[in-house]
Each structure stands twice: as C-alpha cells, then as structure tokens.
A and B are shown apart, each in its own frame.
Chain A
Amino acid sequence: MRRFYSAAPFKTLKLLSFMWLMTFAACGPGHPEVWLSIEQDGTQPCLGAAHLEIEVSTPKGKSVFHEFNQFFDANTHSCAIGQFRYPDLPLGNGAEIAVSVWDSTSDSAGQLATGSSLPLNIKDDSPTTQVDVTLSRLQVPLGTLIIQKPSDWDSLGGISTMMYRVIPAGEQIPVRSGYLAYAPEVRPDPFPVIISSLPLPQELSEMTVYVEAFRDGDPTAIRTWTSSAWLGAGTNQNPAYVSLN
C-alpha cells in the first residue's frame, strides 16, 4: 500500500497522460481541402459577370458565399476569377458545389451562367481533392455595359438603394430595368456596375442608361445619372464602357 501510494507511479502516469494528450492534439480532426477549378465552355459564361455566387450543399445544410468584382476579361470575354478560400465547411457525403455568376443587377435576368459539381464524399482524412465546375451561359444575350463610377459619387452619402434602366434610343420601353445588387454596408462602392443580358444587335446601336440613387424611406431619387451607350456585335463594341453624367 505504501509503495502504491508513493509519488513515482503517479509522476509516470501524469507523464503518460500528457503524452496521450499531446498525441491526441497532434492527431486531432483533419482539415482536408477541396480545390475548385471553375471552367468555362464556349458560351462566354462570364461576360458581364460582377457577382460570383458559390453554394455548397451538404447533408448538414447549405453555405452560400458571394464575391463581387469584375470576373471577366473585357477583351477576351473569358472568366477571370481570383482565389478564394471558404473554411469550416461540414464534412459529409454527397456534398455539391454550385457556381453561378451574375451581373450587378438583382433580377433573375442578371443570372448569366451556372455550373455544378458532382457529389463529393469528404471525410476528415480525405486527401486534397480537385473538383471541376464548368460554367455555361444561360439563355441570356451577351450585350454588356460596364458603367464607370460617376465623378460625384463620393460626394453623396447615405445611399441605400440603386436602380437602373437601359432604354434603346428612340424607344420608351427599357430592355432591362430594376435594382442593382447594392449592399452599402458590405461594399459601399458598387462600381463598376456591370449590366449584361442586353440585346446585342449586329450593327452599332445606341442605348440610354439611367442610374438612380435613393436613400432609405425616400421614394424620390437623390441623384439620377444618365449616359448613352453604344453596343454592336459586328463592330466588336461589347462590352461598352459607360461614363455617367
């Protein structure tokens, strides 16, 4: 009994416990990575893309991530997407990754292309996996405007909502109109605003662009910018750059 209660065995046990804990810490839960490669087909899916939406569906729920930028090359019209990391996604079987790209508008016509992955089984000891998602442009026209920041934008404050209209010259009915996807608290400067899904005639055609800024609770626009834009597939005038006045 005296020997059993001497300090030495407990020192050993404590050391063993410590080693176990260290082993446990070292062999703790894994954090595998899945590398997503966004490919494109020949439909110029990214032309006009200003908003990248990545939706990860797992049996434990959905995670949706948004990125805002110009995600295409204005000259080649190919996708230009940078690197993004989304950690802490839940492990499980049957995970799916869906990618869609939008222009700067919030209406459904602004969704330009989509693509999704095959289901994935991701365990904590899975090796790094590469997944390809090929984007295909939806049945939306290719006409695209890149609207630059107006010179007085920075002098305005408190803007909460922005609307737009694109009206072919000489006509009354806009070919596209609605709200811009504008979240001032996240991204106070929405420019360049990209409006796609616009009809793209073969010849150069003029369109009038209106952009209106609103403050909360005020139905009257505090500022309306306007400008003309020229689009023409045959003249290679797409996308067209627009400077607002």
Chain B
Amino acid sequence: MARTVIESMIVFLAIVLVASGHGRAQEPRPNVIVLPLPSSDLSPADQDLILANLAVQLRTQFRVKVLSGRAVGRAVWGTLGSGLEEAGEQFRNMLNRGKRAYKKLQMKKALRMFEGIEKPLSRCGPEIKDPKLFENMLLYRGLSLLAVKKKAEAEKQFMQAVSMNTNLKLSSRKYPPDVISAFEAARKKLLSARPSNLNILSKPAGAAVYIDGQRRGVTPLQLPLYRGYHFIRLEKEGYSPWTLTLPAGVSLQAIRALLVKVWSGDPPEDLLSSAISRDDLNEATKAKLRLMAGYYETDGIVLVSVAREGSQVHLGMRLFVVNPEIVTRARLFNLGDKSDLFPKKIKGIVSTLTPLKQARARQRTVRKPQRVAVAPVAQPIAAPVNNARPAAIVPRLDQKTPVPIDEQTGEDIYGTPWYKTWWFWTITGVVVAGAAAGVTAWYLTREEGSWTLVVQPNH
C-alpha cells in the first residue's frame, strides 16, 4: 500500500511538472519594432493610439515582443516629414501676431490668433524648450480675454500660466491693478489646490526632463505638477527625444519612458517613398532594413504609415521579417473616422500579418552588468553605412531588452508578464486540479496487481 501511495505521488508530481513545463515557451520570442513613417496630418494622440494598438495586437496575436511608438519613428527619421518644425514655426508666428494685435488693441484679432495657436501647439508643444513662449502665449491670451470682459476664461489662462511656472508673478509697474488682481486671484486659486506628484522614469536613466520647456532635472525624477496641461520631454544623448502631452485633467502617478537609440545613419529617405508603395522593395531598401534590424536587434520591422484623407484615417503596413527573410506587399487599410473603433479594426488588420509566425528570434548576446568594464556588447549585424553619429552606434552596456511604453498612458504596453497573468494561473490551476482528480480517480479505480493460476500438466 505504501509503495502504491508513493508511486501515485510520483505520478502526480510528474504530471504537474510536465503540465507546468508545457505552458512555457521554450524558444525566445522574436522582437519586432513598429516603425511609423513620418506623419504630419494626424495628431500625435491619434498616432499614439494607433501605434499602441498595433503593438498590443502584434504581441497578442503573434507572441512577439514589440517596440512601438512615435519615439521609434523619431529615432529613425528625426523630425523629417513630421511637420514639427513647421508647427513650431507656425506657433511662433501666430504668437507674435497675437501679441502685436494685443498691443495695437485689436483684441478680436489677438484672440483669433491665440485660439488658432492651439493646433500647432498640440503638435509642437513638447518640442518647445523656451518656457517664455508658453508664458507669453498664456498671459497675452488672458489679457486679451480680460480686455473683452471674459474674466472666467482669462482666469483659466492665468492658471495655466502659473501651472507651468509657479514662480510667475506680474510686475505692478508693467500691468494695471485690475490685471494684477485677476492674475493673483487665479494664482492663489491654483496654488491652493494640491499638486500631484509625478514620477518620471526612463530606460536608460539619466535623461534630461523638460516640463513645459523648462529643464527640471534628470530621470529618475519626482516633481509636483499643478492642474493644467503640460508638455513633457525627455532627452538623452544618443537617444531619440521622448515626448508626451499631458492633457488637462489627466493625472498620472508615473511615467516610464523607453528611450530608443537614434538611427546611426542618415534617415533612410528612400524608404519613405517605397515602404507603402505597391511595388516590391528593391535590394537597396531591403539591405537598409536588414541594417536597421541589426542595429535595433530586432527580428522584424512593421513599416507603418498613418495619414488622414479628409475625415478618414488610413493605415498602410508592410512587414519585413529578418529570418527567414520575408517582405510582404504593402497594404492600405481604412480605419475610418472614429478613433474609438480603431482598436477593433487594427485587430483585424494585424491578423493579416501571418508571415510573422515564421519569424525566428536571433541569437542575442546576454549582457552581464558585472562585465561592463571589459566587454564590448552585441554588435549590429552589419555596420551602418553612414557613421554620422558615433555616440548612437555603440549600444550602452546597461541597456536591456526594451520595454515599450505607451506614450499616451505611460504604461508598459506589454502589460503584465504572462506568468503573472490571471489566465495563466487559472489554466495552471485547472490543469493541476484536473491532474489531481485524474490521479485520485485512477488510484481509486485502478486495477491492482493480479496473479495467475497455472495448472501444471500431470501426465
């Protein structure tokens, strides 16, 4: 009996171990980057939404590690074709025209300028490193509103100005008493509220943090933020700038930003025209993609273009897989005009990238931090052609597998690791319980040992 019980326990343990072992991936998961082509006609928020959903669906449907976000595009293209510079120019232009109109007491024109400034601001806000520009925009807009007796709206502008710079005060020599009093009231109102504490982390750490154009320190960083919208920008040499527009009313506790290495060569402009074209990619372009895949240590690149045509948002996609080398044909999809339907449509679109199932993860060098001082790290498959920015070519030794961050929410878009998910432990629990029940049932009903009677011949 004791032997039977021991045998049953061994079988039970074996079943549990085998079952738990089966749930784990034996092969490393391929890495894929989603490389957005520059887009100037879609808002950063919409781009973030699309890119984040693409990442989630790629990860869910193909079990790949995904690096996605505008920062990836920025790392490769820089500001090329993004419209950022144009938006910045437009912002400055409209600000100056608004100020001039205010000084000429053309309040309606000034207000029209300041209202129109919001669109370029939403695009280039995080790019602005001069906090005076925000201050001027908000103060002049507030003064203009005050001049047309829109006190409540003027107060909002003043509060926003104080939110961006809590030390801001108006000089009584320069502004009339009623303006001073309105501004101080707004200031007092804003500062009497409790600020939220925002933790800003980055991978790698040590990135300079700009909030509303003002340098506030380096990551990791905790700082108070008062109510209002804010422009956040992280900068580190060799990495693409990471930006986020925090809308008014949205309170985040932490931002974890993944900084993406800047592409070491010139922006591959020829890829812009051929990535989403009907034609197959030529060898030169493929070679560039191979280089890029090697540089970013990725096993696949999803080339993505997002554009707006009228009210409709179009999404173009082409997949490049490194091993085995596969280049799919570019396809164009219409996401419609309702951003809340984007996730559902993107789910279907991503399911068409079936060649991604064949992607095999490349051998990756395991970096050991204690050997930082002596060992060169994993080299790209091939050296980039144009070694224009040496600082960006040599990967940092402390750089780990990138964790993509949803720029919109600051959350890790991988979500919870699978081994910490409820469904994994549910399945494991069911398997273990099933195995236990099976073993118990088997034990209770199993045929015990038997014996054989052999009648011996006696003649």
Contacts and interface: CB of A to CB of B under 8 A. Distances in A.
Given A7-B25, A38-B455, A24 B11 contact: yes
Given A85-B453, A87-B452, A88-B450, A20 B11 contact: yes
Sort A-B residue pairs by CB-CB distance and give the 4 closest, nearest first.
A124-B449, A29-B449, A17-B14, A10-B21
Chain A interface bracket (under 10, 10 to 19, 20 to 34, 35 or more): 35 or more
Contact of B7 (A24, A79, A82, A84): A24
A83 B21 contact: no
Interface stretch (A89-97, A145-153, A170-178, A230-238): A89-97
A34 B458 contact: no
Contacts of B13: 17, 20
A53 to B, nearest CB: 12
B423 interface: no
B457 interface: yes
Contacts of A59: none
Interface string A37-48: 111000000000
A17 B459 contact: no
A97 B449 CA distance: 19
Most buried by B among A11, A20, A27, A35: A20
Interface in B1-34: 7, 10-11, 13-15, 17-18, 20-21, 24-27
Contacts, number: 124
Given A14-B18, A17-B14, A79-B458, A89 B24 contact: no
Given A13-B17, A14-B21, A80-B459, A87 B450 contact: yes
A38 B13 CA distance: 48
A78 interface: yes
Interface in A134-162: none
B83 to A, nearest CB: 41
A78 B459 contact: yes
A203 B450 CA distance: 53
Given A7-B24, A124-B449, 12 more contacts: A13-B18, A20-B13, A29-B448, A35-B456, A54-B453, A54-B455, A81-B458, A85-B454, A88-B450, A89-B450, A89-B452, A91-B451
A84 B14 contact: no
A2 B342 CA distance: 34
Interface string B414-453: 0000010000000000000000000000000001111111
Contacts of B459: 73, 78-82
Contact of A38 (B7, B25, B451, B458): B458
A181 interface: no
B449 A34 contact: no
Interface string B252-290: 000000000000000000000000000000000000000
10 contacts: A14-B17, A17-B18, A23-B10, A28-B7, A31-B449, A38-B455, A80-B459, A82-B457, A86-B455, A89-B451
A22 B26 CA distance: 23
A81 B454 CA distance: 12
Contacts of A33: 451-454
A90 B448 contact: yes
Nearest to A5: B419
A199 interface: no
A136 to B, nearest CB: 15
Contacts of B455: 36, 38, 54, 81-86
A245 interface: no
A34 B454 contact: yes
B8 to A, nearest CB: 9
Contacts of A73: 459
A134 to B, nearest CB: 11
Given A78-B459, A79-B458, A83-B456, A34 B21 contact: no
Contacts of B453: 33-34, 36, 54, 56, 85-86, 89, 97
B10 A83 contact: no
Contacts of B25: 7
A180 B54 CA distance: 87
Nearest to A129: B451
